[in-house]
Structure 1
Amino acid sequence: MDDLKILAEMRANAPLPDADRLRRLRRRATRRGRRFAIMPSLLVAGVAAVMIVVVAVSVLQRPPEVRPLPNVGAILLNSETVLERAAKTVEERATAPEPRPDQWQYTKILNVQPADGRTQTLESWLRYDGKQSAGRDPEGNFRAQDNPPDPGDDDLSPQQYREKLLKLPTDPDKLLAHVAGDRHWIDYPKEEGVSKKVEDPDSRAYRILSLYLTQEAVMPPKLEAAIFRALAKIPRVKIEQNVRDATGRAGLGLFRSTIGEEDSRRYLILDPRTYQVMADQSVWLRDEMINGEVAYRKGAVFADVWLAAGIVDKPGEVP
C-alpha cells in the first residue's frame, strides 16, 4: 500500500496540513531532474526553527519497530500559560549569526512510516540560498545538484524565509491577521490536476505559524515569541504533557484538536526547556479503515524526528 498516497488523501482532516507536505513529497520524489526527497530539518544551535527542505539523502533501513502508543490518561496543560512561558524563554535568546548564502545547512532526521513502523535515518545538505542540495542516494553515492526555481511552488530557501520573517509583525494579533491572509500560502503551490483546499482563517494561521517553527532560517527572537503568543490565541490549540517522540524522548505536544471524534492527532513536540521543535509526529488514535481494509492500526506513528543539524561550509561536512 502506498503510505504517501493515503496520507496525502487524509490531509483535509490532519490537524497540521503543513502546506500539503506529504502530497508535495510524492510529487517531488518522482519529478525528473529535481530534488531527491523532502523532509523537515532541525534548527541550528541557537536558531529557533527549521523549514522543510528538499535534498538527497542517505538511507539506513531498520527492522520494523513498535512505536509508542498515545499516552493513556494524557495530561492537558493550560496552553496559554505554557505558550507564554515559551515566548518569554525564546525572546531572551541572542539572535544567531546569519549564514552566508554559500554555506550549507546540514540535517539528520529519523523518519518513521505508519503502515509497518519502518524507519529511515536521513542526512541532507542544503545551500542557505537554496540553489543546491546534496546527499547520498540509496546506493551510498554522494551527489550535489542544482535546484532549479519553480514559479508555482510554495517552498522558500532558508535565505528567502529569513527575508519573509523579517517583514512579519511581532504583535501577536497583527501577526495572526497577517498569516491568516498571506496570499503566498493561499495561492501556492500551483499544481496541475490538484484541486485547492479551502481553509478557514484559524486553520491557516495555525498551519503557517507551525510551519515557521519548523523552518531553517535564522528566527528573530521577538518574532518567535510572537508566534507562541499568537498560537495561544487560536481556538482549540492545546498542549499535552509528556508526549514521547519516536525515539522515546518526552516533550510538550502542541496540537490543534479537531471538532468531533479524532482518528489521528498531529503533534509538534517541543523540548520542555528550550521550546525548540523535537519532532513532527502523527499518532493514530484508532484503527484507520480505507477501502474496507485496516490501513493503519491504533498507535501507528508517522514521524520526522530531528537528530542533528548545523551550518557547514561545504556539502558532506558534519558540524
Structure 2
Amino acid sequence: MNELDTLRRMRASLAESESEPVRLAGVRSQVTARFGERGPRVRLPRMGVRIVAVGALAVTIAAGVTVAQNLGGVEDNGHRRTVLPGLPADPVANAAQALDRAAAAADSRPFTPPRPDQWIYTEIRLRTTVKESGGVTGGPYRTIVMRAWKRADGKKSARIENGQVKIFNEFGRTIPPEDYPSLAALPTDPDALLRWVYAQNGEKPGSEGGYQLAFQTLRVILRENLLPPRTEAAIFRAMKKLPGVTLVDNSADAAGRPAIALGRIAEGWLHEEVMLDPKSYAYLGERTISIKGHTFKGVGDNPKALAGYVKKGVLQNLMVRTAAGIVDEPGQRTS
C-alpha cells in the first residue's frame, strides 16, 4: 500500500477543525496504514512500536508554533530573517549545494536544549483537497492547521480536544523516534545516520525503495521535531548522500514565502520535495506534485469512491511548518 492509499483512507475520518490535530500511523509503504488521533500513541498489533508515516502524504500528522526555531526564522515584527553571515548570497546551482548550505546554517545556529519538563510545540499548515476521501486530482483545496505539544523528556504529549488542552501520559515508542532524548542521541556523522535509518526501516542501501524510504524518514524527523543543530546538519548531509535528490525549483512558493525545492521521485509518478528558505536555508515545509498521469486503485470499505486518476502537474499537498519552539506548558504557544 502506498502513501496515497494512506492519505485517502485518512481523509475519510479527518476532522476539519483547526484545533484538533490528527496523527497518521503507517507501517511503511507496503503495510496497511493505521490512522489515529494524536493522543495516546497508535500501536501496531503485537509489535508495540508505531512506525511514523513517512513521505509528503503524511504531512497531515504534525504540529507547530508562531516563531520559527530554525536559524533565519522570524523577527519580532513577523518578517523572516534574511541575513545569514558566512553563507554565499548567490542562488544555489544544485541540490548538493543547497544541502551543504543548509547543514552549515544548522551548524551555526545558536541553540539551548529544552529542559526535561519543558514542551516542544509545533504548528503545521497543510493545503490539500476539500474532498473527505479520494485522491487529490486537483482543486478546490482547503487548509488544515495542526498543533501539538511533546514534553522534552518524551513521557507526555498534549493536544487540544473540545477546546481544552488534554495531556496524555503515554508517549509511546516510534520509528523514527519523536522524543527529544532519542533525537539528540542520533548519529551526527551522515554515513552513520544513514546506516541507522536503514536499520530502523529494515532496509539495506542499494535499492530504490531503501533510498526513498530513507529520504522520507529524514523528512519526518525534520518536520516534526525541534533538533539539536548537529543533528539537523547531519540530516541535510545524509540527504545529500542519497541518489536521485535534485534541485527542482529555486523560486518555489511555500504558502506565500519564497523557497528552494529539492526532492526525489517516488513510485515513478510523485515528486516528494523538501522546501528550504532561499537565504537562511531553514526548513520550511514540503510539497508533493504528480510528475505524470497515474491511476490508483481504491482501498478500504468503499474502493470505488477512493479510486481515481491524477493528471501530470497536480499539486498533491503543500505543507508549511509555521515554526517549532520550546514552551513551559502544554497549550502555550511561543511569541
Q: Could you say whether these structures have the same fold, taking a TM-score greater than 0.5 normalized by the shorter chain as the test?
A: yes
Matched-pair contact (CA < 8 Å) for 1:42–1:216:
no
Deviation at 1:201, TM superposition (A): 4.2
Which of 284, 300, 320 lines up with 1:278 in the alignment?
A: 284
2:142 aligns with 118
Letter in 2 for 1:281: R
Change (3 A) 1:226 1:7: same
Letter in 2 for 1:202: Y
Q: Residues 288-307 of structure 1 correspond to what in structure 2 (within 5 A)?
A: 288-291=294-297, 294-297=308-311, 298-307=313-322
Letter in 2 for 1:146: F
The answer to whether structure 1 residue 249 and structure 2 residue 257 are counterparts is: yes
1:176 aligns with 194
Supply the distance in 2 between the matched residues of 1:220 and 1:281 (Cα, whole angstroms).
24
Deviation at 1:219, TM superposition (A): 1.8
Q: Residues 35-46 of structure 1 correspond to what in structure 2 (within 5 A)?
A: 38-39=61-62, 41=64, 45-46=68-69
Supply the distance in 2 between the matched residues of 1:227 and 1:254 (Cα, whole angstroms).
14
Matched-pair contact (CA < 8 Å) for 2:64–2:321:
yes
Please, which moves more after superposition, 268-277 or 280-289? Answer: 280-289
RMSD: 3.9
Q: Which runs of 5+ in 1 are unaligned?
A: 10-17, 49-74, 188-197
SS in 2 for 1:80: helix
Change (3 A) 1:129 1:43: farther
Give CA deviations for 1:96-138 in whole Å, capped at 9, x if unaligned: 111122212222221222434122122222222233333333x
Matched-pair contact (CA < 8 Å) for 1:41–1:214:
no
Matched-pair contact (CA < 8 Å) for 1:43–1:216:
no
Which of 68, 72, 78 lines up with 2:94 in the alignment?
A: 78
The answer to whether structure 1 residue 154 and structure 2 residue 175 are counterparts is: yes
1:132 aligns with 156
Change (3 A) 1:7 1:286: farther
SS in 1 for 2:326: strand
Q: Residues 65-104 of structure 1 correspond to what in structure 2 (within 5 A)?
A: 77-94=93-110, 96-104=111-119
Matched-pair contact (CA < 8 Å) for 2:118–2:326:
yes
Supply the distance in 1 between the matched residues of 2:70 and 2:182 (Cα, whole angstroms).
13
Deviation at 1:258, TM superposition (A): 5.0
Supply the distance in 1 between the matched residues of 2:209 and 2:66 (Cα, whole angstroms).
29
- TM-score (normalizing by structure 1): 0.66
SS in 2 for 1:113: strand
Letter in 1 for 2:141: G
SS in 2 for 1:90: helix
SS in 1 for 2:322: strand
Which of 236, 240, 250 lines up with 1:228 in the alignment?
A: 236
Change (3 A) 1:229 1:43: farther
SS in 1 for 2:108: coil
Matched-pair contact (CA < 8 Å) for 2:275–2:284:
yes
- TM-score (normalizing by structure 2): 0.63
Supply the distance in 2 between the matched residues of 1:224 and 1:33 (Cα, whole angstroms).
27
Matched-pair contact (CA < 8 Å) for 1:43–1:215:
no
Change (3 A) 1:178 1:143: closer
Give CA deviations for 1:179-232 in whole Å, capped at 9, x if unaligned: 33x2x3329xxxxxxxxxx975433433333333324243233x4333323322
Give CA deviations for 1:10-52 in whole Å, capped at 9, x if unaligned: xxxxxxxx9749x8985223x99657x831547975557xxxx
Q: Which runs of 5+ in 2 are unaligned?
A: 10-25, 43-59, 72-90, 130-135, 298-303
Please, which moves more after superposition, 155-164 or 264-273? Answer: 155-164
Identity rate, percent: 28
Supply the distance in 2 between the matched residues of 1:82 and 1:281 (Cα, whole angstroms).
17
The answer to whether structure 1 residue 209 and structure 2 residue 218 are counterparts is: yes
Give CA deviations for 1:40-76 in whole Å, capped at 9, x if unaligned: 547975557xxxxxxxxxxxxxxxxxxxxxxxxxx99
Deviation at 1:317, TM superposition (A): 1.6
Supply the distance in 2 between the matched residues of 1:177 and 1:303 (Cα, whole angstroms).
29
Matched positions, count? 259
Change (3 A) 1:157 1:230: closer
Supply the distance in 2 between the matched residues of 1:147 and 1:34 (Cα, whole angstroms).
10
